[in-house]
Structure 1
Amino acid sequence: MPDGSASAPARPSAFPWDDALALGLGALGWSPAAFWAATPREFAAALGRRRGPEPLSRDAFERLLAAYPDPGPTG
């Protein structure tokens, strides 16, 4: 660039191997052989099946409020 303010191109971040190993070997309980044999698609699918419960819907929240109302201020 003419003004000398050229910035270096962004470098890609390193793959998070420690996180991947912790998930595959720890959370998923795979053996090392199974971890290294898995494709990226299989790894992603395995992680997708381990999602937590769905968030509480507004309707379900309203039913809980009706079933268990707050006692209100005590005095």
Structure 2
Amino acid sequence: MSSFDWPALMRAGMRGAGLKPAEFWALTPAELLILLGAGTGEAPMARARLQELSRAFPDEGAQDGRD
């Protein structure tokens, strides 16, 4: 089983981005994902931010002693 949905990527690259087939196949998967807008959102929450929020908004009735 492939980790890439090639038909969907081909549609996005050729129809959506207007790439010619040779241009599409010349790209690496990482280049294609960047071209299609991957990685333009915010980074996922890191552990430090989760702990900060947990301290600011503790679960009501939590009594297990963990931070």
The answer to which structure, 1 or 2, has the higher relative contact order (CA under 8 A, 6+ apart) is: 2
TM-score by length of 2: 0.48
Bigger radius of gyration, 1 or 2? 1
TM-score by length of 1: 0.45
